[in-house]
Structure 1
Amino acid sequence: MLFDLALRRLIRIGTLRVRYPDGVVRTYGGGPGPEAGMHIATARALRGMTFNPALAMGEGYMDGGIRPEGCTLYQLLELLMINLMSGGTHPAERAMEMLRKLRRRFDQLNPAHRAQRNVAHHYDLNGRLYALFLDRDRQYSCGYFPTGQETLEEAQVAKKRHIAAKLCLDRPGLEVLDIGCGWGGMALTLAREYGAHVTGITLSTEQIEVARARAHEAGLADRVRFELMDYRTWNRPVDRVVSVGMFEHVGIDHYRRFFRVVKDALKEDGVALVHAIGRYEGPASTNPWLAKYIFPGGYSPALSEVLPAVEKNLLHVTDIEVLRMHYAETITHWRSRFAGNRDAIASLYDERFCRMFEFYLVGCELTFRHGGHFVWQMQLAHKPDAVPLTRDYIAEAEREAARRSRLSA
């Protein structure tokens, strides 16, 4: 059996027990390390795991054809990922990855109409869904954990302060463009706490409605506006540009255009901050299950794919920071909240949807813990002296923001 041979090559660390559709149980590995088990309940699931496991694993879990046995989904996927990252191989997966690399430019073509469709696939879901597992501000991106002991709410406040510090908002009245503004939390924070005038743009109709309502409720509609707009249509200069968790949706063929928009949007003394997911191992492709069910057109690039586009646009990189385990910690909180509200989420959708989202959250957390993904923040400017000469100003600005928050509490 081909799948049996593949697992014998793959599992080198720990022990995996597999119960096959005919009831036969086989054990793989057996050395030191974690233990897990799975039941492949159908012949269809077994075929998928044999010839396209990166897609079939998630689909099998969603449909009930693959189930963890004697362990949690997290423990099962962790065992598999540890072995994949340690050099274990699945011959079919290696071949499929080569094919995905060959077609990745096609898969990531994101003209405006396709970009809007891709955004709607994930972000125009029932608004209650995200309220049930995100923080109160609906920050759907990596939090910042200075000590590792922060709550989700505290980590997301810290993230916004960290980004605001890098934007050098040194005086009120600065105009900021927020590319991919989500539900408006960053834009509202910059207006409320730093006196900025912010325009947030997104392609999600669900997000734009929520963001506009939040601005009105907060009494900030005179300083914050939200537009349903593709970033490529922006055409006037501002003091600052920020983009958090949007660059993963740009597509590799559009990187130079994205940074040209950033360059043209920045005034001569302006500063930009881009926050996105990257990968350590160099250019690759998006997991096929994630691309099909969660983020069509999405891709987390290696920095080696990003920096050439910055250089071609003659922008100065004034700072790059790598946030290593922060997203893993963020998703741990999301998974816990999702599990605690699972019945409510199932009432919005169904059991299959819940399984899909569980697989997504578990897989993403493990990708940041073991799979070579991280978050990068890149600060950009026209002039190398647009920001202070050392990074001390970042911590100083964060402390000052925390002090103001305590005084206003």
Structure 2
Amino acid sequence: MIDKAIYKQILKTSFDAPIDVEFWDGETVHFGEGESIAKIIMHELIPIKEIVAHASLTFGEAYMDGKIEIQGDLQELVTLAYRSQDSFFNNSKFSKLIPKHSHSEKVSKNDVQSHYDIGNDFYEMWLDKTMTYSCAYFASESDTLEAAQMNKVRHILNKLHAQEGETLLDIGCGWGTLLFTAAKEYGLKATGVTLSQQQYDFVSDKIKAEGLTGQVNVYLEDYRELKEQYDHVTSVGMFEHVGKENLAAYFSKIDQLLVENGTALIHGITGQHKGAGVDAWINKYIFPGGYIPNLAENIDHIMDAHLQVDDLEPLRRHYQKTLEIWTDNFHDVSESVISRYGERFYRMWDLYLQACAASFESGNIDVVQYLLTKGASSTNLPMTRSYIYHADVASGVK
């Protein structure tokens, strides 16, 4: 059979470790030398032309639908596929479809709500108590996820060199942990903006419950509509949603939202190599309209916006560890997720979490914190980076 012969050619070079593959007709083939690290079971033939057209989307849907089973470590298997230069995920002749996507304010709102408004109760199942859905910061290997998420928030605020009484805007504020920490621990007047109705309701209720009305504000609004200026701007896990065509406007808007000599801390997934920036499966099922810019793209846009770079910190290993903990947490509540959302939904999110961990583990993607200033670099910051680490220790980031 032609399809099976081509599959064998592809699989022979797609992984940097030995694997077993059981084909739809029952034949099992061992690829590589030594003991297999995993077994791929193909329950039915998936036309090779679909793999050639868009490997990520085809593989993802097949896994969701149970057409493909993985016995062994799924994250390790995907990591190996990313690391192999001849993998069907990496080889240019197996091109990905990159659909054009509108990022109007209406479409952006629908995209965000399709992901974040699954329900607060869904995210509460497997996130930590801070309800933080972005890369944590592990000051030590023994940090719990909750401690590491608080480390991340304090690390961000410490980098800003924020002072009591100053104002802060958090673009894409999530469930508000950064806002409440900024207000309660740093004495800032903090404002958040989100397009998620569920996140907005959650933060609004917490503002009232904690007696922070007037010191913490939240708006259900597109950041592009904001007019007021702030001493500091943060944006954590946000620019991945704005789209390639809007990145220039995003950084330009940050410049507009900052007072002169203000500081911004932008934290987001970034490619450290040039590539497509879009994964067809994730774009269709997880993050509609998502785009991962590379480092050069972001730096170009930062310079065009007349912002200056004070510090860049890659956190790739931190996001890998974060995702691995989320995966363990997600597996712990598998029965609840399946009973509420179904087997296909569970397999979709399981693949998403493990594939993302594999992407970070392999170096396919990174996450970078960009410390930016409006005006001459470091005008309002101490002369050396030591202020960050001294403040980290003082605030409990050890």
TM-score (norm 2): 0.93
Counterpart for residue 39 of structure 1: 41
**Alignment pair present for 1:133 and 2:126:** yes
Asked whether the equivalents of residues 181 and 243 of structure 1 are also in contact (C-alpha less than 8 Å), the reply is: yes
Counterpart for residue 377 of structure 1: 369
1:136 maps to amino acid: K
Match of 1:6 among 4, 7, 10: 10
Q: C-alpha separation between the residues in 2 aligned to 1:216 and 1:83?
A: 49
Instruction: Mark the runs of 5 or more structure 1 residues left unpaired by the alignment.
Output: none
Q: C-alpha separation between the residues in 1 aligned to 2:73 and 2:77?
A: 11
What is the CA-CA distance between 1:84 and the residue it aligns to?
3.7
Aligned partner of residue 199 in structure 1, secondary structure: strand
Counterpart for residue 323 of structure 1: 315
Q: C-alpha separation between the residues in 2 aligned to 1:348 and 1:60?
A: 22
**Alignment pair present for 1:15 and 2:13:** no
Counterpart for residue 60 of structure 1: 62
Q: C-alpha separation between the residues in 1 aligned to 2:142 and 2:366?
A: 19
Q: C-alpha separation between the residues in 1 aligned to 2:13 and 2:84?
A: 12
Match of 2:160 among 167, 171, 182: 167
1:18 maps to amino acid: V
**Alignment pair present for 1:86 and 2:88:** no
Match of 1:156 among 132, 135, 149: 149
What is the CA-CA distance between 1:252 and the residue it aligns to?
1.5
**Alignment pair present for 1:210 and 2:202:** yes
Counterpart for residue 388 of structure 1: 382
Match of 2:346 among 343, 354, 358: 354
Q: C-alpha separation between the residues in 2 aligned to 1:181 and 1:19?
A: 46
What is the CA-CA distance between 1:30 and the residue it aligns to?
2.1
Match of 1:252 among 231, 241, 244: 244
Larger deviation, residues 255-264 vs 36-45: 36-45
What is the CA-CA distance between 1:269 and the residue it aligns to?
2.6
Paired residues, what number?
392
Asked whether the equivalents of residues 169 and 234 of structure 2 are also in contact (C-alpha less than 8 Å), the reply is: yes
Counterpart for residue 24 of structure 1: 27
Asked whether the equivalents of residues 55 and 89 of structure 2 are also in contact (C-alpha less than 8 Å), the reply is: no
* Post-superposition CA distance 1:314-357 (Å, at most 9, x none): 11111111112000111111111111111222232111111111
2:146 maps to amino acid: E
* Post-superposition CA distance 1:241-285 (Å, at most 9, x none): 110111111111111111111111111131111000111222423
Cα distance 1:313–1:72, how it changes in 2: closer, same or farther (>3 A)?
Answer: closer
**Alignment pair present for 1:73 and 2:74:** yes
2:119 maps to amino acid: N
1:17 maps to amino acid: D
What is the CA-CA distance between 1:151 and the residue it aligns to?
0.6
Cα distance 1:156–1:84, how it changes in 2: closer, same or farther (>3 A)?
Answer: closer
Cα distance 1:355–1:375, how it changes in 2: closer, same or farther (>3 A)?
Answer: same
Asked whether the equivalents of residues 34 and 79 of structure 1 are also in contact (C-alpha less than 8 Å), the reply is: no
1:89 maps to amino acid: S
* Post-superposition CA distance 1:362-391 (Å, at most 9, x none): 101111111422111111112321211100
2:86 maps to amino acid: G
Q: C-alpha separation between the residues in 1 aligned to 2:61 and 2:242?
A: 26
Asked whether the equivalents of residues 78 and 358 of structure 2 are also in contact (C-alpha less than 8 Å), the reply is: no
Q: C-alpha separation between the residues in 1 aligned to 2:36 and 2:310?
A: 42
Asked whether the equivalents of residues 138 and 148 of structure 2 are also in contact (C-alpha less than 8 Å), the reply is: yes
Cα distance 1:56–1:317, how it changes in 2: closer, same or farther (>3 A)?
Answer: same
Counterpart for residue 138 of structure 2: 145
* Post-superposition CA distance 1:158-181 (Å, at most 9, x none): 0011001011112x2211111000
Counterpart for residue 333 of structure 1: 325
What is the CA-CA distance between 1:306 and the residue it aligns to?
0.5
Aligned partner of residue 339 in structure 1, secondary structure: helix
2:339 maps to amino acid: S
What is the CA-CA distance between 1:48 and the residue it aligns to?
4.1
**Alignment pair present for 1:402 and 2:396:** yes
Q: C-alpha separation between the residues in 2 aligned to 1:365 and 1:84?
A: 11
Q: C-alpha separation between the residues in 1 aligned to 2:349 and 2:368?
A: 24
* Post-superposition CA distance 1:18-48 (Å, at most 9, x none): 11111111222225x8621111101247764
Q: Percent identity?
A: 34
Q: C-alpha separation between the residues in 2 aligned to 1:130 and 1:140?
A: 8
Aligned partner of residue 402 in structure 1, secondary structure: coil
Counterpart for residue 93 of structure 2: 95
Asked whether the equivalents of residues 45 and 60 of structure 1 are also in contact (C-alpha less than 8 Å), the reply is: no
Q: C-alpha separation between the residues in 1 aligned to 2:233 and 2:225?
A: 15
Counterpart for residue 240 of structure 1: 232
Aligned partner of residue 192 in structure 2, secondary structure: strand
1:54 maps to amino acid: S
Asked whether the equivalents of residues 84 and 90 of structure 2 are also in contact (C-alpha less than 8 Å), the reply is: no
1:329 maps to amino acid: K
Q: C-alpha separation between the residues in 1 aligned to 2:25 and 2:48?
A: 11
Cα distance 1:51–1:372, how it changes in 2: closer, same or farther (>3 A)?
Answer: closer
Q: C-alpha separation between the residues in 1 aligned to 2:334 and 2:342?
A: 10
1:39 maps to amino acid: I
1:139 maps to amino acid: T
